[in-house]
Amino acid sequence: MNKAVLIANPVSGNGKAKKAAEVSASILKEKQFEVSIEYTEYAGHATLLSKKFSNEFDIIIAVGGDGTVNEVATGLVDSQSILGIIPTGSGNGLARHLKIPMNTVKAAECIAQKKLIPLDAPTINGKYFFCTAGVGFDAHISHVFAKMDGRGLKNYIKAILKEYGSYISAHYQLHLDGKDAGKKQAFVMTVGNAAQYGNEAFIAPSAKVGDQQLEITMLPAPNLLRGLSWGIRLFLKSIDKDASVSTFSGKNIIINSTEKSVNGHRDGEPDTWEYPLVFNVKEQIKVIGNSDN
Ligand SMILES: Nc1ncnc2c1ncn2[C@@H]1O[C@H](COP(=O)(O)OP(=O)(O)OP(=O)(O)O)[C@@H](O)[C@H]1O
């Protein structure tokens, strides 16, 4: 029951994952775990590795940011293996939601305690996400950020400041659990499985990862006052209390538009989807964490 493999993304967190994998392996060995380390060689590789290892190992540990966690967790849907996370990304939204320590030694000790939490595995047009997914300004930034030379929080903020003034809000038609929820103009339309983007920025404060429900947060066209208020409220866990913000929840969300396709993001990584966008939550896996839901 204590056979674990660490799947580490060597490029995550500007190269922090290799050291983190080695440190975690030695901590887990001290706690009588049988441990192996594998490194990803390209984007998408972690899903193939976790699928393959799910037959052999009880715990499959993602060492990386939310992108790596997404790939490893995707490989575990339909398996009995448990997901572990050693966070080394710049945002670490799912790890933070689950109250997994950001310190590698403490994160490895948290895995050794094996507190299991049910984790929904929602999909957007058939592709899994575990933290947040959506369209709008945040998705636009994930596409801009992916083309930048460096990663990390500093570059992310640079991209936000550069793009904020010129991004135009789009119109979306929303259906929630089979009911027409109207036409919306949105600057950001985020679907949360977990409550935060990462870095303790709470975009869907009421989201719980195992409740088989998705929480939508919709920000309308911004102005300076709204932008400032959202910036503060994101970190105070109160974006849903802002008078300009709308929230919805559902299991089956359909977003339509007069456009053919849209740039979106899944767990902070850029993705492109054809309309209609169909969000569903049915499946579940188990993750080791420190929170209750
Ligand atoms: N060996 C590799 N070479 C290049 N890219 C990789 C490799 N392994 C994984 N990737 C890709 O790296 C991307 C970023 O990974 P991840 O999100 O884990 O780290 P990060 O970008 O440092 O963290 P954050 O998203 O918090 O900034 C993932 O989309 C993944 O597909």
- Tell me, what's the pLDDT at 49? 98
Q: Taking 90 as the threshold, does the pLDDT of residue 293 lie above it?
A: no
- Going from the Cα of 12 to the center of ligand 1, the distance in angstroms, rounded, reads 5
Architecture of 3-114 per CATH?
Answer: 3-Layer(aba) Sandwich (3.40)
Q: Enumerate residues 6+ apart whose C-beta is below 8 A from 249.
A: 176, 206, 213, 214, 215, 216
3-state SS string for 26-37 = HHHHHCCCEEEE
Cβ contact 8:37 at 8 Å: yes
- Tell me, what's the pLDDT at 279? 98
ipTM rounded to 2 decimals: 0.95
Higher-confidence position of 235 and 164 = 235
The three-point CA angle 92-3-58 to 5° equals: 65
Q: Taking 70 as the threshold, does the pLDDT of residue 258 lie above it?
A: yes
Cα dihedral sign for 94, 98, 102, 106? Answer: negative
Q: Is the shortest distance between the CB of 146 and ligand 1 below 6 Å?
A: no
- Tell me, what's the pLDDT at 1? 63
Reading the block at residue 224, the tokens are 């300076």
Helix (H) or strand (E) holding 127: strand 127-128
Q: Which atom of ligand 1 is nearest to the CA of 39?
A: 1
- Tell me, what's the pLDDT at 140? 96
Q: How far apart are CA 62 and CA 20, in angstroms?
A: 11
Q: What is the pLDDT of residues 101-125, one digit of tens each?
A: 999 999 999 999 999 999 999 999 9
Q: What is the pLDDT of residues 59-70, one digit of tens each?
A: 999 999 999 999
- Going from the Cα of 151 to the center of ligand 1, the distance in angstroms, rounded, reads 10
Q: Which atom of ligand 1 is nearest to the CA of 90?
A: 26
Q: Which atom of ligand 1 is nearest to the CA of 92?
A: 26
Once rounded to an integer, what is the mean pLDDT over residues 91-106? Answer: 97
pTM over 0.80: yes
Cβ contact 66:267 at 8 Å: yes
How far is the CA of 97 from the CAs of 32, 76, 125, 146, 206, in angstroms? 27, 20, 24, 24, 11
Q: What is the pLDDT of residues 18-59, one digit of tens each?
A: 999 999 999 999 999 999 999 999 999 999 999 999 989 999
How far is the CA of 122 from the CAs of 92, 98, 192, 242, in angstroms? 18, 17, 10, 27
Cis peptide bond prior to 276, omega within 30° of 0: yes
Q: What is the pLDDT of residues 1-27, one digit of tens each?
A: 699 999 999 998 888 999 999 999 999
- Tell me, what's the pLDDT at 14? 80
- Tell me, what's the pLDDT at 50? 98
Q: What is the pLDDT of residues 185-214, one digit of tens each?
A: 999 999 999 999 999 999 999 999 999 999
Average model confidence (pLDDT) for the chain? 95
Domain boundaries, the chain: 3-114, 127-282
- Tell me, what's the pLDDT at 201? 96
Ligand 1 pocket test: pick from 12, 14, 128 the residue with the most ligand atoms within 8 Å of its Cβ.
12
CATH of domain 127-282: 2.60.200.40
Cβ contact 61:17 at 8 Å: no
Q: What is the pLDDT of residues 157-171, one digit of tens each?
A: 889 888 988 999 999
Q: Is the shortest distance between the CB of 13 and ligand 1 below 6 Å?
A: yes
